[in-house]
Amino acid sequence: MPGGGALLYGPQFWFGASAHHLNQPNLGFITQTQLPLRLNLHGGYKVYFARTNNVREQRETSLAPTASYTRQGGSQRAEAGLYFTTTPLTLGAVYRGVPLPGAPQPQQVLTALAGLSVGSFRLGYSYDISLSQFSADLGGAHELSLTLREFDSLEAAWRRLKRRNYPKIPCPSF
Ranges of each domain in the chain: 46-162
Q: Residue 82: what pLDDT? A: 98
SS (H, E, C) the chain: CCEEEEEEECCCEEEEEEEECCCCCECCCCCCCECCCEEEEEEEECEEEEEEECCCCEEEEEEEEEEEEEEECCEEEEEEEEEEEECCEEEEEEEECCCCCCCCCCCCEEEEEEEEEECCEEEEEEEEEECCHHHHCCCCEEEEEEEEHHHHHHHHHHHHHHCCCCCCCCCCCC
pLDDT of residue 59: 87
Q: What is the CA radius of gyration of the chain?
A: 19
The strand pairing partners of 148, in sequence order, are 121
What is the spatial distance between Cα 35 and Cα 25, in angstroms, rounded to a whole number? 6
Looking at residue 41, its amino acid is L
Average pLDDT per 10 consecutive residues for the chain, totaling 174 residues = 89 94 79 86 96 78 96 90 96 90 79 91 91 70 85 62 64 70
Rounded Cα–Cα distance for residues 64 and 86 (Å)? 12
pTM of the model: 0.81
CA angle 131, 136, 139 (to 5 degrees): 110
Please enumerate, as own/partner, the contacts of 132-141 that have beta carbons within 8 Å and a separation of 24 or more.
132/97, 132/107, 132/108, 134/107, 135/107, 135/109
